[in-house]
Amino acid sequence: MSCFLTLLVIVSSTSGCSADQPPASPPPAAKSETPNPLTYAERIVKAERMLADEKQELADVEKELSDPKSDYEQAQAEFMAFDKKLETGKKEVEKLLEAMKPEEAKRADAALNKLRKDWEAARDRFNLAIAQRKTLQTKKVVLTSQIEQHEEELERLKGGDVPQPKAKEPDTSKEPPPKAPIPKEGKDGAKEPEKKTPPITLPGIPGMPAIPVPNTPTDEPPKPKKEDAEVNKARTTAESRRGALEEAEANARTADERVRVLEQLISTEEQLAASERKAADQAQTELARLTAQLLTTTPQEFGTLSVRITEAERRLSSSRGRVRTLEERIASLNDNLRSVRQEQIEAMQLIEQKRLEAEAADEELAVLLNPFSTRNIRVWVATHGVNMLLIVCGIFTLHMIVRHSSRQIARYVARNSSRGSDEDRENRANTLVGVFRYVAGILIFGGGVVMLLDEAGVPVVPLMGGAAVIGLAVAFGAQNLIKDYFSGFMMLTEDQYGVNDVVRIGNVSGLVEKITLRVTVLRDLEGALHFVPHGTVSTVSNLTHGWSRALFDIPVPHDADLNRVMGELVAIGKGLRTDPLFAMKLLEDPEMLGVEVLDSTAVVIRFLMKTRPLQQWAVKREMLRRIKSRLEEMGIALPPPNSLVHLRLPEGMSGVERPKADSMPGLVWPEAS
């Protein structure tokens, strides 16, 4: 037994000595020379090889994370077992102390101290396993992003469409991975001629300032509709160079993204290497402690301790192997990073070259498109200047034609009207002239302005669309104004009234002086001018529409001969028709209606006389004058207006007593007979 113990101690000491030796560091990586530009075939093969390696590494990481026998699972099980034993030992010591057994409690506490050291070692191992697992989860995220990036780059190199980024599924592992923000911008290499690209910077490369990307001119001066060959050639060259610049920018963004992902992947690998070194140190420390315990262990615990020593040696060897593997991978990633940085620098140099070429092409095109250059002024005068001059002349010619022909057109329209005399038709013509000139002026000048803008190169279609939107907004906000115009149009179409007609609109009456599509202008007898919007008109009374009528109510006494009086009134009306001054104002003989009112004061006789428009008042005034003279000749006095006064006598006064004169001033009592 002692020989076996001695041999085991010698083996353990040998293992411990080998454990104290630091792992052999990998030879320093040789400085990579500046690679020559790779062809598309070489870049595709390189990208496919890197993509295959990354997929294999991602599969290994996922396998390690899901392995039920991984170091994480073993460390967790070991720590839980020691933690359970420690809790059980603590409870046992407490029970011995409560049972008043101090000696046994002391021996149990000594054994518990030995168990506590094993618990601490298992705890440290489990904490390290947790940190390694988090790092592996971060590495999984970074590898996934790098694989997506290389797949997109490979697709672009092959000339296909760049796939859209897929939505990442949530990680269902026990510990959520820390967020590793990897900004993704401009993965696709598609050309976007109108898109402005922000400045490209090189993170982590000292001495490389930001290279601003030129903004292509968007507010170009109006170009001729038919460009010559020189302008077309310059425009094609500028577009081609801008496309080359955007392609170079896309390559630079791809290289920049690859640099960022590689830097984060290298950082993750360095964290894993540091964790493995700590695991190796921890395994070596535990191996030394367990080896020392062999000398004092009991035969019953010898087997368990030997298994733990073997497990510690396995973990030590495995950690050292992982450290060497990770260091080799870090060196490979650094070589790859240097290569990508070189590609990034070359891409930035290519961007600068393409930017200068694009700026030169844009400057040449701007000179050709400058509207104030001698060449463009000459071309503009030869093409658009003459057309615009003809449009202006056409506008003024049409305006003069409308001014001179509007009255003839209005008279022709009014002549075909079925109502009224020649004077009425003339009034209607005057009404239509103003409206026709107003509408024609809007159409002529509005259409002329649109034609001038179109000839000057201003896009008319967006302008008309904007005007339509603005008109719609104005229509919603000014519905009363639209209602005025529509009502005015319907009023003119239906010929409800015209200029020089006497109308009553609501509470306003007067002579129509002017009519537009929006308002009617009335002047009353007092000379006041009223502006009536058509939208507010609900009822119109035209007092001179076609013909007019004078209405007469003549009061006569009760003792007058009514038949004689009515005969005389008709005779007076007929006599007025023979008067040369009033013959053209009357249309028919008087129409006797007869007795209209019969009351205690008088008998009212009513008759009518049909006149021409606006002549009823002159006819009525003359008829009343003649009727007054004729009744006086007949000895018929018009009954005076009578009023009946009811008196209420004060209390104590009889009906025959008269009040004092000063008590009711102004009241005259009849003399007693």
Render pLDDT for 513-530 as a digit per residue (tens, 0 to 9): 888 878 888 888 888 888
pLDDT tops 60 at residue 301: yes
Instruction: Output the CA–CA distances (angstroms, integers) from residue 567 to 50, 570, 593, 594, 605, in the order listed.
Output: 127, 5, 12, 11, 11
Q: Percentage of the chain with pLDDT > 90?
A: 6
Instruction: Output the CA–CA distances (angstroms, integers) from residue 230 to 22, 220, 240, in the order listed.
Output: 74, 17, 15
Instruction: Output the CA–CA distances (angstroms, integers) from residue 624 to 79, 607, 618, in the order listed.
Output: 131, 12, 10
Best-predicted range by mean pLDDT among 286-300, 457-471, 546-560?
546-560
pLDDT at position 2: 39
Could you tell me the two tokens for 120? 């601490």
pLDDT at position 515: 83
**Would you say 369 and 220 are in contact if contact means Cβ atoms under 8 Å apart?**
yes
Render pLDDT for 138-160 as a digit per residue (tens, 0 to 9): 878 888 877 887 787 778 777 75
pLDDT at position 606: 94
**Would you say 22 and 300 are in contact if contact means Cβ atoms under 8 Å apart?**
no
Q: How many CB atoms lie within 10 A of CB 496?
A: 15
pLDDT at position 627: 92
Q: How many CB atoms lie within 10 A of CB 72?
A: 22
Rounded Cα distance between 507 and 519, Å, is 16
Render pLDDT for 491-509 as a digit per residue (tens, 0 to 9): 777 777 878 888 888 888 8
Pairing of strands 529-533, 540-542: unpaired
pLDDT at position 65: 81
> Do you know the residue count of the chain?
673
Render pLDDT for 378-399 as a digit per residue (tens, 0 to 9): 877 777 778 888 888 888 888 8
What is the torsion angle, in degrees rounded to the nearest 10, for the CA atoms of residue 663, residue 664, residue 666 and residue 668? -100
Tell me the average pLDDT across 101-120. 79
Count how many Cα atoms sit within 13 Å of the Cα of residue 308 in the half-sphere of its side chain. Answer: 20
pLDDT tops 90 at residue 625: yes
**Would you say 597 and 604 are in contact if contact means Cβ atoms under 8 Å apart?**
yes
Could you tell me the two tokens for 159? 């000339």
**Would you say 361 and 238 are in contact if contact means Cβ atoms under 8 Å apart?**
yes
pLDDT at position 673: 37
pLDDT tops 60 at residue 535: yes
Amino acid at 620: K
pLDDT at position 192: 45
pLDDT at position 29: 42
Rounded Cα distance between 661 and 574, Å, is 54
Rounded Cα distance between 105 and 401, Å, is 127
Q: How confident is the model at residue 410 (pLDDT cuts 50, 70, 90)?
A: low
pLDDT at position 607: 93
pLDDT at position 344: 86
What predicted TM-score, i.e. pTM, was given to this entire model? 0.38
pLDDT tops 80 at residue 429: no
Rounded Cα distance between 80 and 126, Å, is 10
Instruction: Output the CA–CA distances (angstroms, integers) from residue 668 to 502, 661, 663, in the order listed.
Output: 48, 8, 12
* Weakest mean pLDDT among 75-84, 157-166, 387-396: 157-166
* Weakest mean pLDDT among 160-174, 230-244, 523-537, 617-631: 160-174
Instruction: Output the CA–CA distances (angstroms, integers) from residue 660 to 383, 565, 657, in the order listed.
Output: 108, 46, 9
- Kindly give the interhelix angle for 102-157 and 71-98, rounded to the nearest 10 degrees: 160
pLDDT at position 641: 66
Instruction: Output the CA–CA distances (angstroms, integers) from residue 382 to 378, 389, 453, 550, in the order listed.
Output: 6, 11, 17, 71
Rounded Cα distance between 212 and 207, Å, is 15
Could you tell me the two tokens for 198? 């922000």
Render pLDDT for 195-252 as a digit per residue (tens, 0 to 9): 444 444 434 434 444 444 444 444 444 444 455 688 888 888 888 888 888 888 888 8
Q: Is 548 helix (H, G, I), strand (E, B) or coil?
A: strand
pLDDT at position 555: 92
Tell me the average pLDDT across 107-123. 79
Q: How confident is the model at residue 162 (pLDDT cuts 50, 70, 90)?
A: very low
Tell me the average pLDDT across 95-104. 80
pLDDT at position 163: 45
Rounded Cα distance between 608 and 620, Å, is 10
Answer with the residue of higher pLDDT: 23 or 306. Answer: 306
* Weakest mean pLDDT among 130-134, 180-184, 273-277, 603-607: 180-184
Give the rounded distance of the alpha carbon of 33 from its chain centre: 53
pLDDT at position 653: 55
Answer with the residue of higher pLDDT: 461 or 284. Answer: 284
pLDDT tops 50 at residue 185: no
Please state the φ and ψ torsions of residue 200, each to the nearest 5 degrees. -95, 130
Render pLDDT for 2-56 as a digit per residue (tens, 0 to 9): 333 333 443 444 444 333 444 444 444 444 444 455 677 877 887 788 778 878 8
